[in-house]
């Protein structure tokens, strides 16, 4: 069964989203309600993924296009270090890459503030991803070019198509400032603005959205305990989820020990760079999700929430 949805356009934050017919996808198998899959505006590959990323050394990035306060997503794999500026990811959302001998897909959803890096191998296949132009719970739906299954970023799994139910392996990564990362990892390489596309990477099309309380697309679960765009770091352990709002982390001395179920974790937060990581009892960094409060809660309505007052 192939179906085509349309979404009524709205005008917010200086953007106009018109009625957009979605490319036909195979929805004969789906694990999420079809009426909750919406068009984000651009069609399939209308937001182009970066398939041939180019990188420059740390020193050149600082000289040419990165300021210390610029936000990045960064990771270390087998001793190799790479940084992906959010000013570039805002325009592309996906980078198909390899690092330390491992194929990865770097993903960023500007609407949810979620930067997540996955192993690109799943179900015995080496997958290559693109931007579908569709959203679920305001979060980007990726698609793999091998089977054209749709994948929910925050759910970390295929939600339609041949690979439905297949999970992606989330890898540890960090959202931080360029200044903080390069100080700690001066030998890092940085995704270059020479992407093969003509974009104004110095302009942030989501600047007004980040401070607004408005959520651009409907989500099933909203909780008003925090500002919708409050940044949180969330983690899942043994089927339990817990969110640590940055607002709460700023009130306690870092690092600190916490419990998720029976597991001990260490939470590390630097208020200057607004950088949070979560480690297990042995000090190993755990895969986690940094994003907006509304987005974390939309997918984890039973989440535990850390409160500085209760600890």
The mean pLDDT value of the chain amounts to: 92
- The pLDDT score that the predictor gives to residue 221 is 87
Contact by Cβ (8 Å): 140, 162: no
Q: What is the pLDDT of residues 21-38, one digit of tens each?
A: 445 688 999 999 999 999
Rounded to whole angstroms, the Cα distance separating 273 from 254 reads 13
Q: What is the pLDDT of residues 89-114, one digit of tens each?
A: 999 999 999 999 999 999 999 999 99
C-beta neighbour count of 247 within 10 angstroms = 14
- The pLDDT score that the predictor gives to residue 14 is 33
Rounded to whole angstroms, the Cα distance separating 299 from 311 reads 25
Hunting for tokens 């179900």 — which residue is that? 123
Rounded to whole angstroms, the Cα distance separating 237 from 59 reads 38
- The pLDDT score that the predictor gives to residue 25 is 87
| pLDDT under 50: residue ranges of the chain | 1-22
User: Quick one: which of 281, 49, 269, 22 has its CA closest to 133?
Assistant: 22
Percent of the chain past pLDDT 70, that is, above it, reads 92
- The pLDDT score that the predictor gives to residue 310 is 74
């Amino acid at each position: 069964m192939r179906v085509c949805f349309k979404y009524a356009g709205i005008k917010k934050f200086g953007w106009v989203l018109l009625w957009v017919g979605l490319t036909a996808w195979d929805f004969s198998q789906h694990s999420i309600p079809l009426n909750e899959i919406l068009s984000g505006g651009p069609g399939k590959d209308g937001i182009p993924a970066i398939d041939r990323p180019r990188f420059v050394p740390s020193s050149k990035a600082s000289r040419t296009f990165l300021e210390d306060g610029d936000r990045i997503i960064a990771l270390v794999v087998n001793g190799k270090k790479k940084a992906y500026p959010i000013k570039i990811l805002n325009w592309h959302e996906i980078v198909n890459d390899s690092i330390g001998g491992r194929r990865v897909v770097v993903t960023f959803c500007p609407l949810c503030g979620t930067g997540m890096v996955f192993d690109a191998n799943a179900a015995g296949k080496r997958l290559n991803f693109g931007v579908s132009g569709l959203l679920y719970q305001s979060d980007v739906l990726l698609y793999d070019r091998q089977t054209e299954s749709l994948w929910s970023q925050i759910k970390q799994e295929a939600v339609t198509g041949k690979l439905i139910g297949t999970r992606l392996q989330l890898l540890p990564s960090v959202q931080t400032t360029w200044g903080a990362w390069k100080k700690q990892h001066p030998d890092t390489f940085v995704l270059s603005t020479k992407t093969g596309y003509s974009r104004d990477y110095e302009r942030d099309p989501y600047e007004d959205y980040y401070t607004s309380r408005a959520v651009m697309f409907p989500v099933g679960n909203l909780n008003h305990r925090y500002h919708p765009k409050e940044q949180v770091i969330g983690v899942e352990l043994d089927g339990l989820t817990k969110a640590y709002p940055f607002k709460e982390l700023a009130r306690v001395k870092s690092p600190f020990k916490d419990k998720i179920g029976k597991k001990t974790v260490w939470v590390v937060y630097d208020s200057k760079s607004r950088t949070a990581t979560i480690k297990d009892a042995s000090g190993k960094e755990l895969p986690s999700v940094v994003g907006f409060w509304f987005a974390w809660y939309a997918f984890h309505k039973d989440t535990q929430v850390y409160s500085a007052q209760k600890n």
